[in-house]
Structure 1
Amino acid sequence: MKQKTFFSIVLFSLMAFSAFAQTTLKVGYADIDYILGNMPETIKAQADLDIVKDRLIKTRDSLVIDYNTKLKEYKENAETLVPATKKETEIKLTQIERGIQRFEADIQTAINIKKDELLKPIYNRIGVLITTVAKQNRYTHIINSQIDGNSVLLYAEEKTDISDLVIAEAKK
């Protein structure tokens, strides 16, 4: 009985080893930033983002112009103003200045939110394209060559870079 159990274990191990030995790994890599920069959708997304950015900056600029006009008017008339009116005007100018500062911070937040909104479907499409190219070329694994501009690859053969294949697939 012990021999049958031992033989079964050995036989199972041999089958598992031979199955593993027949599995060929084919690893490729892609540069997501490079692909993103060459996607047709990225140009439109950047144009849409620029429109939003321009609108926000124009709004900010009009607020600054209005503030500067009021500040200039205040400085020209400060000596003739009643102390209570002078104090009230200074408070209003300070509130406007703080509002502009908050708006400038909100501009960057709004731009980042819009950028994420515009790029999310493009990144999703890149993921689908990478899967398609990987399957077509029988890759078992695809890794990103960079993360936040830092290389994560220590070495890779140039022929395993599928970035241009992904871009070509995007243009089909």
Structure 2
Amino acid sequence: MKKGLFFVLLCAVCLALPARAQKFGYVDSEFILGKMPEYQKALSEIDKFADKWSKDIQEKYAEIEKLQRSYQAEEILLTEDMKRDRQRVLSDKEREAREYNNKVFGYQGLLFEKKKELMKVPMELVNRAIEKVAVQKKLEFVFDKASDFTMLYTNPRHDYTDYIMEELGLDAANKPNKPTAVNAPTQPANGTPDNKTTIKPK
């Protein structure tokens, strides 16, 4: 519904503009980013942080499991007070593990912030290149083929991806350049993190 409304509003804006030819174009940000060393480096760094944090969480749950086994083995020898103390320690450890998991992989957690930080440079480079090409080519609108906005048909003559690649000093080889009919919207390629990832004990 929102996309349809956006398209209607876009058409209304175009009709309201002065009666002259409105120049527009589109780019494929997914393809551009995929060719950028800065983007690949950012992805690699994000994976490293995710792996490290995942390992930290798994170690916390492994410690909890070890404490649980120790408690079960010694339970028969413990007094009621000792049992309560051990159970409280286990409960605290489990709560700490859950809170740390949410802090790292939860909504707008550490991984989300790290992705935003590491993706800032490549995204700014692309945005500046698009703006420069748009000014040079006198484009009124520049759409992103890889965005949520559904492009049902794309004519290669309106494709300015190569100009962006040239501006960034990238090789545009193997770029798809045929008109395409799209049946479903493509997923955005902006490094936006998932809302939540949960690491559970094995």
User: Could you tell me the TM-score, scaled by structure 2's length?
Assistant: 0.67
Secondary structure at the residue paired with 1:143? Answer: strand
- SS of the equivalent of 2:102 reads helix
Which secondary structure state, in structure 1, belongs to the residue aligned with residue 154 of structure 2? coil
Contact 1:144 1:152 in 2 (8 A): no
Q: Which runs of 5+ in 1 are unaligned?
A: 1-19
Residue number in structure 1 paired with 2:32 = 35
Q: Distance in 2 between matches of 1:79 and 1:99?
A: 27
- Structure 2 residue corresponding to 1:171, chosen from 158, 169, 172: 169
On the 8 A contact 2:49/2:111 being kept in 1, the answer is: yes
Report the Cα offset of residue 145 of structure 1.
Answer: 2.6
1:72 aligns with 2:38: no
Give the SS at the match of 2:26: strand
Q: Deviations over 1:41-95 (max 9, x none)?
A: 1111111112211221221122122111111111111111111110111111011
Give the 3-state SS of the residue equivalent to 1:25 in structure 2.
coil
* Cα distance in 2, alignment partners of residues 94 and 164 from structure 1: 57
1:119 equivalent in structure 2: 119
TM-fit CA distance, 1:146: 4.1
Matching residue of 1:128 = 128
Correspondent of 2:56 among 41, 52, 59: 59
Q: Distance in 1 between matches of 2:161 and 2:121?
A: 18
Q: Does 1:83 align with 2:80?
A: yes
**CA contact under 8 A between 2:38 and 2:121: conserved in structure 1?**
no
Aligned equivalents of 2:143, 2:130: Cα separation in 1: 10
- Unmatched runs of 5 consecutive residues or more in structure 2: 1-17, 171-202
Query: What is the TM-score with the length of structure 1 in the denominator?
Result: 0.77
- Letter of the 1:158 partner, please give it: P
Match of 1:93 in 2: 90
- By how many angstroms is 1:112 displaced? 0.8
CA distance in 2, matches of 1:54, 1:146: 28
Distance in 1, matches of 2:44 and 2:70, equals 39
Give the structure with the larger helix fraction.
Answer: 1
Supply the distance in 2 between the matched residues of 1:164 and 1:75 (Cα, whole angstroms). 65
Structure 1 Cα separation of the partners of residues 52 and 113 of structure 2:
15
SS class of match (1:33): helix
8 Å CA contact 1:26, 1:141 repeated in 2: yes
Give the structure with higher Rg (CA): 1
Query: Counterpart of 2:3?
Result: none
Bigger mean CA offset, 137-146 vs 100-109: 137-146
1:72 & 1:135 partners in 2: Cα distance? 67
Q: Does structure 2 retain, via aligned residues, the 8 Å contact 1:41–1:122?
A: yes
Equivalenced residue count is: 150
Q: Structure 1 segments of 4 or more deviating over 4 A?
A: none
For residue 137 of structure 1, report the CA deviation from its aligned partner: 3.2
